Amino acid sequence: MILYEVTLETIPQLEEEVEAYMRLTHIPEIFATGCFQRIRFCHSSSGQLRTSYEARTRDDLDRYLQQHAPALRSAFSERFPAGVIAGRNIWHERKVWEQVLS
């Protein structure tokens, strides 16, 4: 599994607006591409936002990055031209530990 993670640091005045845009518009548009099997959206106690996109294969992620990401990033930048800093990382899952409850 490949994890594509985007973190957003926003100025306090934009935090609620950015979160609403992510939840109602941006993430649903990304999910609709069919490139990811699961998306998790989180808010930290420090106000940082994180979205983790789970792709089955590197080809799925590459398809997203080549065919969809440029337009989606552009739309986000037009909506929030200042006050938001994005960081992006690609993670390759190595091992998972799970608690099995009986």
Q: For residue 84, give both structure tokens.
A: 């938001």
Band (pLDDT 50/70/90 cuts) for residue 101 is confident
- Please state whether the predicted TM-score (pTM) of the whole model is above 0.75: yes
**Residue 2 covered by a domain:** no
Domain count, the chain: 1
**Residue 84 covered by a domain:** yes
**Residue 58 covered by a domain:** yes
Evaluate if residue 7 carries a pLDDT over 90: yes
**Residue 30 covered by a domain:** yes
Q: Cα(10)–Cα(83) distance, rounded to whole angstroms?
A: 6
Domain span at 18? 11-92
Alpha helices in 1-102 (DSSP H): 15-21, 27-31, 58-63, 69-79
List, for residues 38-95, the tens digit of each pLDDT value: 999 999 988 899 999 999 999 999 999 999 999 999 999 999 999 999 999 999 989 9
